[in-house]
Structure 1
Amino acid sequence: MIVSYLHLLHYRQENKILFLLLSSWLFWVLFFSYHHEKLDKIEKAEENVEKLLVKFAEYPTFDGNKLSASVHTIIGEKLALSYYIQTEKEKEELISRLQPNMFCSVNGTIKTPNEPTNPNAFNYREYLLTQKISYTLLVDTITDCREGKQSFYTQLLKYRHNGIHLINDIFSPSVAPFVNALLFGHKEGMEQEAMEAYQQLGLSHLLAISGLHVTVISGFLYFILLRIGMTREMVRYCLLIFLPLYVIISGAAPSVIRAVVMAWIILFLSKWKTAIEPLDALVISFIGFLLINPFIIYHVGFQLSYTVATGLLLSSFLLEKTVHTIHASFMISLISQLVALPILLNHFYEFSLLSVLLNIIYVPIYSLIVLPLSLITYSLLLIFPPIAQIGVSILNEFLQKLNHLAKWVHQFDLFHVVLGKTPLILILMFYMTIFIALYLLENYWIKKLKLLMIILLIPFTLQILFIKFSPVGEVVFIDVGQGDSILIRLPFNKGTYLIDTGGRVTFASEDWQKRNSNFDPGEHIIVPLLKSKGITKIDKLILTHGDSDHIGSVDHIMEHFKVHSLLTGNTIEKKEMEKKKIEMARRKGIHVIEVSSGMNWRSGKNTFMIVAPEKSAIASNDASIGIYAKIGQKTWLFTGDIEVEGERKIVQKYPSIKVDILKVGHHGSRTSTSEHLLSTIEPTIAVISAGENNRYGHPHREVIHLLHEHRVTVYRTDQHGAVVYQFLFGRDRMITIKT
């Protein structure tokens, strides 16, 4: 609907077509309403299955001891399969045997994918729906595997699979993933630091096969076929056949499908000398995509591909005014980054001020050197490998230099802007102002530059005021699994405090079991959550005690945020991990403060008092930092892992403390939360941070029973996800992420 409206404005169509637009709008409203109703119905109870026959739709992915793949059941239902391999020998057998169209008998559990348990977190269920998958299959055993009938489609997948392995074998480990991304749309194995640099600098689109790649590859093939003597008509037929095949070979991402469909339509209609506007071809591919899978609208690659393509096509009149190549490159880069920005902020919360400049440098290098050389080198590897080694050496050296430059630029925080997650109303305002700005540029060029800048700054200003300097204060008990992490954010950015960071619990494993990248709650949960709220600075990072499930992820917090002060207990005989975190903070120039009972601070009407540990106490659970606070309209007691003896000392020293909300100590262990504590502080709400189905059985039944006896409302992160308290101008509320 929006694309059609912009199309009509762009070409100054008659208003009589407004009826068609309204009809189109009504159709899509009904269409998406129907599919959202289907989405609400996918929730179902876990179903145990035995000897379920599944067919592998693709080559599985192996990451340490984990196998992941898309499979189809006999009735055609697509599932996301996960299996934890038992032995190294079994892993070797599965790697050598499993391939597309292979049938296996599995035992396991079918369940609905989990929804996010933290604010603004990645929605795995939504992502699977973009792949036309409604349920996951967690497998216990895989047996009786047999090959199915091979088809032309599976042969193409095999060709792609072999090509990826050939690149991995020939190129250096740091370069191979980049070449595979350019040729096959395969990004596995990419160095984490380089991938983050490309993403945050606005260069990741270079590694996603799209219109640029399709143009270069089609041009490369066109040139080769003409040189070997084919007629232009025959070359056109070859391209019409090649382009759909290329979709499969390149991984069938939304961006490549969009580019190929557009190119195919234009090429097909050229036979009858029938011209079709690129924007019309774009709309046709867009409608086709949504009719096949409406949930693809949630795919970030789909959103970026169509938004940027639409922005560039609608700006064609503006781009035609540019006379110099550098000027044209600047305008293309500026428009692309501008129209992509609201989507990038909505999904990734940040951008780089250097994106436009870096794209002017990197886009020509990738399109004129790296991609063509990758194509030529890969072709030579298949035909005459000795000569191909020249291209391999050049690409190894050249791409390493490019990646080193990207990582070097990425380290400068000065150009890095975190604005937080953009709400829908602001996304619409962003695009409204961008459209007006492009209209002014097209018609008045830079004559109305001041007006143009003011218009563009409006949504940025609102984003900063309502996201980075939000008037809403909050306390967030973050779901970090079996661990603790609590975010306290005061209104108007008057104070940001983080109590503990969670941490990854590690177990001894063999080399074959180790993952390429292990899940860390600090890196994958806390950092994105804080950035989604526009947070760049933490005023106080509070480490309650030295257990890894409380402070294990401190490294990632210090790496991504400016930390003003680190608060640690004034204790002796600290654990080695806590000592290392403190030393790391000092190396980074962070002010380290050892706190003990009686110390306090204030921010506006919000007060914080340390109630534990006693000065020079021996480091232990009972020597965790305890904080009594008045935040918003509530009084709080944060207890870390304080146990019964520590609770007794607090009550003895502060007998008059009354609390509205208690953070239950030690994840709800029976060694904490005594009758004496509850009788004294009289909480009305208790929050327990514990991992779902954790091996310790937290929270223990006795604790839950005791809390209920005292008529305390209990919130649990293992059941409710993150627990959030919000307050604004005398009003407050408690909400949970999972209902």
Structure 2
Amino acid sequence: MAWQSLYALGRRLRKGRERGDAPSGVRPSIPLALAAGLAFWAACACAVSAGEHLGAGGCMLLALGCAAAALAALPLLRAPRGAYAAAMLVATLAGALNGAAGSAMLHAQGEVPTAEAVPFVLRAVEDGSETAYGRRVLAQVEEGFAAGAKVQVLFGGDADVLHGQRFVAEGSLQAVSGSSAEFLWGKGCVLQLRAQEVEHSPGQGVRDAVAAVRAKAVERIGSRGGQDAALVAALACGWRGSIDDELSCAFKAAGLSHLIAVSGAHLSLVVAFASAVLGALRCPRAAAVPLQAALILSFLLLSAASASAVRASIMAFCAMGSFFARRRPSSLSALGVCMMVFVALDPFVAVSVSFALSTLSTLGIVLFGRLFQCWIARAMRWAPRFARDALALTLASNVAATLYGSALFSQLSLVAPVSNVVAAPLFAPSCIGSVAVSLLAGLLPDIPWEVLQAGCVFPGILARAVRACAAVPYASVAVSWSPLAALAASGAIAAALYRLWPVPAAQPQARTPACRQLAGVAAVCALTMLLGVAVAPGLFGGDRCAQMVMLDVGQGDAILLRGSEATVLVDTGNKPALLRQALARNGVTSLDAVVITHSDDDHFGCLADLKGVVQVPSVMVAEDGLSCPCASCETLRSDAEVLVGRDGLVGLSAGDRMEMGSMSLEVLWPVAYCHEGGNGDSLCLLVLVDADGDGATDYRGLLTGDAERGELASLVQAGALGPLDVLKVGHHGSKNALDERTVKSLDPTVSLISCGENNRYGHPSAEALALLEEAGSEVFRTDVHGDVACRFDSDGMEVR
């Protein structure tokens, strides 16, 4: 019935347009169900976030308190006045109760680790991924001990595990600890299992058959190679493992990352396009309804009916119902009910990034889709209807989600408005073609690829359009703001748009007061953004004093060097969001070079992610790193080429010198590779600062990468090193980083240690800290102090 109603409403709307009627832009009312759903979601998210730190007992007390308060508030619902406020209060307390109870149950799961290794039967709830230390996948225990619990499985071998697949792993359950504990808590997981390898063990049920179809499709498409095929797998199956860094960075820089994640807004665009095509073909309802239903079911099949895909499908119904229907409050109420049901079934959905972005996008479509449709219809009368509708849906979906997404990923696309206009008409046909290709590849594995290749045409065009948008200089910038602040700003923008509701005037020449107000607000916002981008670098670059800034990027290295004439980044860490936040805090929009000390992931892992965020002309590595055949060096070269191209990759040798105005860098090490680009082959850079411009060195610093006491001792014995003002301690302050003789020879005034909070390696070591303390060196650590800036001028060195 839902599909028939949707189709009938679409036909009425199409007939109205054929008569020349403009789309209705009446502002919808906000129903209680939507407000209650938002309150329930927000309260549950707060309770889940707090529950991680409260412990099982604290969570139970919170749950009992919320339950008692909710029961006490129930009589208020019958009051003649204030029933709306009472309902909001009850919804808030119920959400907090749900989050606290779920947190208490999760704490209880964490108290059942096993001491001995036993086999577990598990089913993947996400696609597995490869890390620098092996493979990992989030799975749910299906049988026996701890059945129903979510577990992070860490394993070796070459086997891929995709969502929905059933497998066996042998190991002992352990409580999650360290820096990953907070991340996994948000996924409802407090246990991990280490296994040597995993063995696939498919069952005979429907879930196993669905997972097998998706796995075959992903394998068949992925085996073809090429980024057009990789984009097909991402659009239809949600599989992004085959997309290379270059295309992934292009989608981020263009502000189109949401297109390669199955969401409510994603499916809404596809269904809208299908509805427009079927309407243009005069397809009878008896055929159109099953076809549109089959399209949604195909997405569910190719995503292995993941929870996120099921949620997205239901939200797509809400969004499209509001887009075609005249009674949008009913769709808003349905969306509010969906929020409460999803969060009630799994409290940890409340803190899920994908759920938040999908819900906010869908809410934008439901609230503002028809308003944008009015404007697009007025401005683009010449465009085909499906193109206008796709653009209206796309713009509406971004109202509430853009700022929040930029805060989560620490990247704001400045070309997003244009790139969304370009991509909107291409996206839906790309998705439909991708679904057709993936279904045929999964169900008919013997079908020739040449037959399937036709479905890659639109994805290929979309990929080229995205790359073109991302290639615009300063397509995106790094940002550092709180997700809560961004969410509040998004709410304020949505509230202002809802309050003004600037419907276009009946006459093209007329302008309503609301339109004029909106135009003024938009102009001020655009001017503010442009001024921010133009002025922010000057706020930091105006200080011409030389600086060495140790950026807080977690368990990794990233050192920003600022001379009077150049800015250089030494290493990048391996957490893209943290690096982008650090660059934004320091007002960096362009770099003269990136130097990578060696090929460990925690030193170059974010290299490719700089593409589209900052302007970089060259990447510099040790000369031997240009030809080293080891896998890590090959990956380093590949990532460097993504960022700057093959011609931008430069080799450095001992004795080379880089001039940066008031600062210069001299390469001391390595003379030649002895460890295949490992720790002992790290570039060691002597930093020389001429603070007063008289040509003499006033300050000396040393950047060591992961070089340890052996390499430093060799440099000291060779007479290349003497007393230092600043020492970046090697290998994050490991126990082998320093020895007593080297510390005495270097006698650093300030020592910098870059390490992640509660890292699993125990960095920095007690031995290294004791040696530095005994030498009288002042130690600064990123896990304690965050970013640490050493500022050099003629009056002295300042550390802040």
TM-score (norm 2): 0.63
| Cα distance, 1:398 vs structure 2 | 3.9
Q: Is the 8 A contact 1:79 1:134 kept in 2?
A: yes
**Which of these residues, 238, 249, 252, is aligned with residue 196 of structure 1?**
249
CA distance in 2, matches of 1:554, 1:62: 17
- Give secondary structure in 1 for the equivalent of 2:117: strand
Deviation at 1:334, TM superposition (A): 3.1
Is the aligned partner of 1:152 residue 2:221? no
- Structure 2: how far apart are the matches of 1:32 and 1:489? 47
Distance (Å, rounded) in 1 between the aligned partners of 2:140 and 2:482: 35
Secondary structure class of the residue paired with 1:55? strand
Task: Give the corresponding residue for 1:724.
Answer: 787
Q: How many residues align?
A: 657
Superposition deviation, residue 84 in structure 1: 0.7
Does the 8 Å contact 1:254/1:301 carry over to 2? no
* 1:305, distance to aligned residue in structure 2 (A): 1.3
| Structure 1: distance between partners of 2:161 and 2:313 | 32
Which residue, 302, 311, 315 being the options, matches 2:355? 302
Distance change (3 Å), C-alpha of 1:329 and 1:442: farther
Is 1:357 equivalent to 2:422 in the alignment?
A: no
Choose the corresponding residue for 1:498, options 569, 585, 596.
569
Give percent identity, aligned residues only: 16
Of stretches 70-79 and 174-183 in structure 1, the one that deviates more from structure 2 is: 174-183
Alignment partner of 1:643 is 2:712: yes
Where is the strand percentage greater, Structure 1 or Structure 2?
A: 1
- Deviation, 1:128, is 3.7
What is the aligned-residue RMSD (CA, Å)? 6.1
The alignment partner of 2:400 has SS state of helix
> Where does 1:310-329 land on structure 2 (aligned, <5 Å)?
310-316=363-369, 318-319=371-372, 321-322=374-375, 323=377, 324=381, 325=385
| Inter-partner Cα distance in structure 2 for 1:95 and 1:305 | 25
Quick one: structure 1 residues 533 and 429, their matched pair in 2 at CA, closer, same or farther if it must change by over 3 Å?
Answer: farther
Indicate the SS of the match to 1:70.
strand
Deviation at 1:626, TM superposition (A): 2.8
1:137 is aligned to 193
Cα distance change, pair 204–26 in 1 and its aligned pair in 2 (3 A): same
- CA separation of 1:489/1:289 partners in 2, compared to 1, >3 Å: closer, same or farther? farther
Query: How big is the shift at 1:307?
Result: 1.0
Aligned counterpart, 1:50? 117
Tell me the SS of whatever aligns to 1:537. coil
- Contact 2:156–2:197 (Cα < 8 Å) also in 1: no
Amino acid corresponding to residue 753 of structure 2 in structure 1: V
Aligned match of 2:686: 626
Cα distance, 1:287 vs. partner?
1.3
Aligned CA distance change for structure 1 residues 265 and 195 (closer, same or farther; 3 Å): closer
Q: CA deviation at 1:71?
A: 4.0
CA distance in 2, matches of 1:356, 1:362: 10
Amino acid at match of 1:333: T
In structure 2, what is the equivalent of residue 429 of structure 1? Answer: 489
Structure 1 residue 112 displacement after superposition:
0.9
Matched, 1:78 2:78: no
Per-residue displacement from partner, 1:267-295 (whole Å, max 9, x unpaired)? 99xxxxx9971111111111122222233
Normalising by structure 1, report the TM-score: 0.67
Structure 2 portions without partners, runs of 5+: 1-28, 37-80, 322-326, 504-512, 674-679, 692-698
Cα offsets for 1:560-592 (capped at 9, x unmatched): 6335899999xxxx7564999999899559999
Structure 2 residue aligned with 1:476: 550
Candidates 517, 521, 538, aligned match of 1:452: 521
Tell me the equivalent position of 2:261: 208
Q: Return the letter of the residue paired with 2:404.
A: I
* Paired residues for 1:411-430 under 5 Å: 411-430=471-490
Q: Measure how far apart 1:537 and its partner are.
A: 1.6
Are 2:227 and 1:180 equivalent residues in the alignment?
A: no
CA-CA distance at 1:213 after TM superposition: 3.0
Tell me by how many angstroms 1:160 deviates.
3.4
- Structure 1 residues 360 and 460, CA, compared in 2 at 3 Å: closer, same or farther? closer
State the distance in 2 between where 1:228 and 1:189 align.
39
Shift of 1:223: 7.8
Question: Residue 542 and residue 621 in structure 1: after superposition, are their counterparts in 2 closer, same or farther (change >3 A)?
Answer: same
Q: Whole-Å Cα distance in 2 between the matches of residues 125 and 203 of structure 1?
A: 30
- 2:753 matched residue in structure 1: 687
Distance of 1:22 and 1:469 partners within structure 2 = 47
Within 5 Å, give how 1:497-646 maps onto structure 2: 497-500=568-571, 521=574, 526=579, 529-530=582-583, 535-538=588-591, 556=608, 561-563=614-616, 575=624, 577=626, 588=648, 624-627=684-687, 637-640=701-704, 641=707, 643-644=712-713, 646=715
> For residues 179-227 of structure 1, what are the alpha-carbon distances to aligned partners after superposition, in whole Å with 9 as ceiling and x for unaligned?
3334333333234322332333233333333355367569979989x99
Q: Specify whether residues 590 and 412 from structure 1 end up closer, same or farther in structure 2 by C-alpha distance, changes over 3 A only.
A: farther
Give, in angstroms, the shift of residue 139 of structure 1.
0.8
Please give the secondary structure, in 2, of the residue aligned with 1:442: coil
- CA deviation after TM superposition for structure 1 residue 468, in Å: 6.3
* 1:80 maps to amino acid: Q
Describe the SS at the equivalent of 1:643: helix
8 A Cα contact 2:153 2:192, kept in partner:
yes
Match of 2:171 in 1: 107
The Cα shift of 1:342 comes to 0.7
Alignment of 1:203-352 (within 5 A): 203-209=256-262, 210-213=264-267, 216=270, 247=300, 249-252=302-305, 256-262=309-315, 277-316=330-369, 318-319=371-372, 321-322=374-375, 323=377, 324=381, 325=385, 330-352=391-413
Decide which of 8, 15, 24 is 2:91's aligned counterpart: 24
User: How far apart in 2 are the matches of 1:36 and 1:409?
Assistant: 43
**Which residue number in structure 2 is paired with residue 707 of structure 1?**
772
How big is each residue's C-alpha offset from its partner over 1:136-187, in whole Å with a ceiling of 9 and x where there is no partner? 21213558x8666x33333333343344445557x76544433333433333
Q: Specify the alignment match of 1:508 in structure 2.
A: none
Does the CA contact (< 8 Å) of 2:667 and 2:685 recur in 1? yes
